[in-house]
């Protein structure tokens, strides 16, 4: 929200401007509020600094202040999507203390910050896009339900597949789209073609997956880049 002309965004008469927030693990707390609420944080000190999403409130996460627990002040952060924010919070290790409930024109929920030192549990069905780039290791035919791919690069969610034994199996189904210059079919792809395969999987399934036992991936789209790569060289 833009400030009135001449008004400092933080130091506003009568407004809450600065908070010292108790946190047993200040660095973990800073990472949590950055990931879930989009706060701007600085971790170049023992008590990380933060600026909330409005830019009106700044502060530090401090380990030398006792956590008040259930009897302390309970701040609420406004978000655009309550469901998406809860999903992020739980994925980052938070616990939903009070499920969403109506409060006037709003829906409200209460979470408890992640416990320090523990492994973040992963809940929910949030899916992420896995992107794998590589070379086809077989000549697929129209009736195949998969193809073999030697992965040479990936996005962050595909790193486990890149680290796995190559080539790997990529599944396909009736909804998989193929592009090779234009709309194509599976049997138009050929061994040694350079392709990009994209598919969605649960973030929780991928987070701690062992490269030796990665979850099965079904491609939603396969794009043949052989011609484009040849032109670039």
- Which residues on adjacent β-strands are paired with residue 197? 132, 222
Beta strands in 36-164 (DSSP E): 40-42, 49-51, 58-62, 95-103, 106-112, 127-136, 146-154
- Cα-Cα end-to-end distance for the chain: 49
User: With b meaning 16 or more CB within 10 Å and e meaning fewer, what string describes 61-88?
Assistant: bbeeeeeeeeeeeeeeeebeeeeebbbb
Residue 116 DSSP symbol: T
* pLDDT confidence of residue 119: 54
The 10s digit of each residue's pLDDT in 179-215 is: 999 999 999 999 999 999 999 998 788 877 889 999 9
For 58, the 3-state DSSP assignment is strand
Domains of the chain: 18-112 (3.10.180.10), 127-232 (2.40.50.320)
Report pTM: 0.52
* pLDDT confidence of residue 120: 57
Q: Residue 153 is encoded by which pair of tokens?
A: 């690069």
Q: Report yes or no: 186 and 140 within 8 Å, Cβ to Cβ.
A: yes
Q: Choose among 204, 219, 28: nearest CA to 126.
A: 204
Question: How buried is 4 (Cβ within 10 angstroms: 0-12 exposed, 13-18 middle, 19+ buried)?
Answer: exposed
- Residue spans of the chain under pLDDT 70: 1-6, 117-125, 228-233
* pLDDT confidence of residue 9: 78
Cβ partners under 8 Å of residue 177, min gap 6: 183, 220, 221, 222
């Amino acid at each position: 929200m833009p400030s009135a002309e001449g008004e400092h965004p933080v130091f506003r008469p009568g407004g809450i401007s600065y908070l010292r927030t108790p946190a047993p693990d200040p660095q973990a707390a800073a990472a949590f509020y950055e990931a879930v609420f989009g706060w701007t944080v600085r971790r170049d000190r023992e008590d990380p600094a933060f600026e909330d999403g409005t830019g009106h409130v700044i502060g530090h996460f401090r380990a030398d202040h006792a956590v008040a627990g259930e009897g302390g002040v309970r701040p609420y952060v406004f978000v655009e999507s309550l469901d998406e924010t809860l999903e992020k919070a739980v994925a980052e290790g938070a616990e939903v203390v009070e499920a969403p409930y109506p409060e006037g024109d709003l829906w409200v929920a209460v979470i408890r910050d992640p416990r320090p030192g523990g492994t973040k549990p992963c809940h929910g069905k949030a899916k992420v896009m896995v992107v794998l780039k590589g070379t086809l290791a077989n000549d697929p035919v129209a009736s195949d339900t998969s193809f073999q791919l030697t992965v040479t690069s990936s996005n962050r969610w595909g790193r486990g597949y890149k680290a796995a034994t190559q080539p790997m199996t990529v599944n396909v189904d009736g909804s998989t789209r193929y592009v090779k210059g234009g709309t194509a079919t599976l049997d138009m792809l050929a061994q040694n073609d350079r392709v990009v395969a994209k598919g969605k999987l649960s973030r929780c399934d991928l987070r701690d997956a062992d490269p030796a036992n990665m979850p099965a991936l079904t491609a939603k789209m396969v794009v043949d880049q052989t011609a484009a790569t040849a032109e670039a060289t």
